[in-house]
Structure 1
Amino acid sequence: MSMPKLSRRAFAGLFTAGLLASVSAGAVMAQEYTKENPLKVALVVHGNLGDKSFFDSAAAGLNRAEAELPVDVTVIEAGLDRGRWQPALADATDQGFDVVIGGTWEMTGFMAELAPEYPDTKFIIFDDAPDFSTGNFGNILAINYRVSTAGYLAGYAAAKISKTGKLGEILGVEGATIVEFALGFEQGAKAANPDVEVTRAVAGSFTDPAKGKELALAQFAQGVDIVFPIAGGTGIGALQAARDEGKLAVGVDSDQAEIFAPTDPAQADVIFTSVEKKVGDSLFTALQQTLDGTAPYGTNLILGLADGAVGISKNSFYEKLVPAEVRAEVDAEEAKIIAGEITVESAMN
């Protein structure tokens, strides 16, 4: 796939300075927006909110944008019927929103069909990108995340604290953006313990908690004592299995321990860290840059550990469950990745 990309250097400081690097070729001219005349934004969720992970992170970023920026946000939950996804995106575009946002490969094709027909509408696709060489997609901004770099750190810590030397992964599907997590996790685990065993299972769904629980229980029966579900709502079932069986888990996309802590502290207690894909932060910044005219539409951003766009949760659960000497080793590995001394395998071009 041929896609224009911005280098990490061009995107340096995204989350520390809160600004995208100005890219004149892809930048969209700024307009005057105020609270009385806000930028009108639609987030089309091809599913439902409440996954405590990926979609909720996106919505949280847009809620923050609505609170802090001259932005008016409408969230459209298209549900689980795939037949409703393209009409939902098309309806949002027809309704005259200034920016229409969708996520993952399952929505990219629909967006690529609509964008040339609506040149005055801006589109943001996160966690995937169209092939920019095949069409007039100058009004699409794609945002992707090199989560293998953060997955490496979680895998390293998991292998260090595992008592059995057996780790499990549960993937929703085997798409590149999901395998990206697993590749880093496996590489980090092997770096920490060359003899570690990592078992991978594929659920075939992101919305089947029962399947996630079944797969996790099967892995636990084989000696796995830490499971890493990369499976959206399906992964919730795997986390529940870890809670019920007294095992440990790695959360995904958001800081899932902190999310569960207020309502299910027993669940939070077994999530020793999460591999965070900071979707909400990236969408907030993309809208901020859309407002000031520097958002690099027409390009594919690939953001990683050095950009602050991904990372692992280093919260009180991490401090409680991961010994200080292991945390120090993880920090050292993180510094080496950022410095380019460790190259982490990736499923992304």
Structure 2
Amino acid sequence: MKKVFFFLSFLLLISALAFSKSDTKQVMPTVRLITDQTGVDDKSFNAAAWRGILDYYNDTWNNQKHRGKFYDVVTCRDQTQAFEVLKSMAEEGIDLIIATGFTFAESISKAADLYPEQKFVIIDFDSILKPNVMGFVFHEEEGSYLVGVAAALQAKEEGKNNPKFGFIGGIAGATITKFEMGYIQGIKSVFPDAEIVDFYLGGWNRKMAAKEKAKNWYDSGVYAIFCAAGESALGVIAEAKQRQLKGQKVWAIGVDSDQYSEGIYSGTKSAVLTSMIKSVEQASKLALESVEKKSFRYGTIVLSLKDKGVDFSKSNPDLKPSVIKQTEKIKQEISSGKIKIYSTYQAALRAGIAPYGLGAKDN
């Protein structure tokens, strides 16, 4: 009889543990990622936000076993659709809705008023002062300074006397201006008189337009191009790969994610010298953790170089060791506050660093 009782008790214990484990799993928050038309396959900004969600649920890009149950993504063709999607998600009872990019600001703001109990996150925007909206912004100028320094130092190592540099932006505004200003200041810390050209595409999925601009610039002698325009950067990388295959030493600089692998054209040879890494993954995970731990709060969280929110990639074997060493030293000087970086065009103009006539806008 004691053996029967022990066996029944054991079964009850196992059942309780199984229920407890299942119950714990069920209390994980549900989330929807809302992106623009480039989706999570942009290999850049949206992809990074998606990776953060996958990491949180212990999934991978190739094994998204919890998709549909705990998380999913909706790609919006425009902001009118975005607002309708946000309403639909809120009415469905999703715990957290994450939108990638400042272009969602108006839609998020309207939806936050309509659904005050719904928790929203917007990445790359900090001015929605609503009690149910958490924002994440980054010191992109810090990471961009690093890739500007790395590109300029690489040019010096390669014996370039008066290298030209290019910057391609997506939609002009305060966020992309931080990328451009940091990049310019990094270059000019090595080549004070460097010629820098810029161009704004007016969108995030303009790969062919970016490729054509890169073609013209490389023809005119531009050494490296940094494209902060989401999926459009793949156009610059494609053009740089074609040039490298023909023996022309030009470089693309990746954005948001480490895009070294996108630039590979032979073996370990890549046309992406380095990338400005922006840890959007961290924003996704921090937001989800705050919901799970019931510590969600409104306001803005700022991620800097010191917080590992931005960095530069060192994946390319052709990025010279001396360049990496010097750039790492500069990274420490930025983190300590020794190097000051201007994040707005007007401030950089007043300091005499940025040239007049650029397409950058501070708002």
Q: Which band: TM-score by shorter chain?
A: 0.7 to 0.9
Deviation at 1:108, TM superposition (A): 1.0
Cα drift, residue 129 of structure 1:
2.4
Residues 222-242 of structure 1: per-residue CA shift (max 9 Å, x gap): 110211111112221111111
Aligned to 2:253: 250
Question: Aligned partner of 1:105: which letter?
Answer: F
Letter in 1 for 2:102: W
Matching of residues 1-349 of structure 1 within 5 Å? 34-47=24-37, 48-67=39-58, 72-78=70-76, 80-132=77-129, 137-162=130-155, 163=160, 164-246=162-244, 247-258=250-261, 269-295=270-296, 297-315=297-315, 317=316, 320-347=317-344
How many pairs were matched up? 306
Q: What is the deviation of 1:98? A: 0.8
The structure whose Rg is larger is 2
CA deviation after TM superposition for structure 1 residue 173, in Å: 1.9
Q: Is the 8 A contact 1:42 1:76 kept in 2?
A: yes
CA distance in 2, matches of 1:85, 1:62: 20
Following the alignment from structure 2 to structure 1, what is the Cα–Cα distance between the partners of residues 84 and 24? 30
The structure with higher relative contact order (CA 8 Å, sep 6+) is: 1
Q: 2: CA distance between counterparts of 1:300 and 1:158?
A: 32
Sequence identity percentage? 27
TM score, norm. by length of structure 2: 0.79
Aligned counterparts of 2:242 and 2:189: Cα–Cα separation in 1: 30
Q: Partners of 1:259 and 1:282 in 2: how far apart?
A: 24
> Which deviates more, 186-195 or 34-43?
34-43
Contact 1:170 1:231 in 2 (8 A): yes
SS at match of 1:49: helix
Instruction: Work out the CA distance in 2 between the residues paired with 1:210 and 1:139.
Output: 39
CA distance in 2, matches of 1:131, 1:111: 8
Instruction: Give how far 1:268 is off.
Output: 6.5
The letter for the 2-side match of 1:205 is: G
CA distance in 2, matches of 1:232, 1:92: 25
Measured after TM superposition, the shift of residue 324 of structure 1 is 2.0
Deviation for aligned residue 1:131: 3.8
1:81 CA displacement: 3.8
CA RMSD for the aligned pairs? Answer: 2.2
Q: Is contact 1:41-1:98 (8 Å) kept?
A: yes
Alignment correspondent of 1:30 = none
Measure, in 2, the Cα distance between the counterparts of 1:34 and 1:268: 46
Contact kept? 1:243, 1:266, Cα under 8 Å:
no
Opposite residue 42 of structure 2, the aligned amino acid is D
Q: Counterpart of 1:11?
A: none
Distance 1:177 1:219, change over 3 A: same
- When residues 112 and 81 of structure 1 are mapped into structure 2, their CA distance, relative to the original with a 3 A threshold, is closer
Counterpart residue identity of residue 96, structure 1: G
Per-residue CA deviation, residues 59-112 of structure 1 (Å, 9 max, x unaligned), is: 1111111227x981121122x344322211221112110111102221111111
CA shift, 1:34, in A, is 2.4
The Cα of 1:120 is off from its aligned counterpart by: 2.0
For residue 130 of structure 1, report the CA deviation from its aligned partner.
3.0
With the length of structure 1 as denominator, give the TM-score of the two structures: 0.82
Distance (whole Å) between structure 2 residues aligned to residue 243 and residue 35 of structure 1: 45
User: Which amino acid is the alignment partner of residue 35 of structure 1?
Assistant: K
Tell me which amino acid in the other structure corresponds to 1:62: I
Indicate the residue corresponding to 2:13 in structure 1: none
Q: Tell me how far apart the structure 2 counterparts of residues 101 and 82 of structure 1 sit (CA, whole Å).
A: 15
Name the CA shift for 1:84/1:305 in 2 (closer, same or farther; >3 Å). same
Whether the 8 Å contact between 1:103 and 1:128 is mirrored in structure 2 is: no
Residues 261 and 270 in structure 2, CA contact (< 8 A), matched pair in contact too: no
Q: CA deviation at 1:259?
A: 5.4
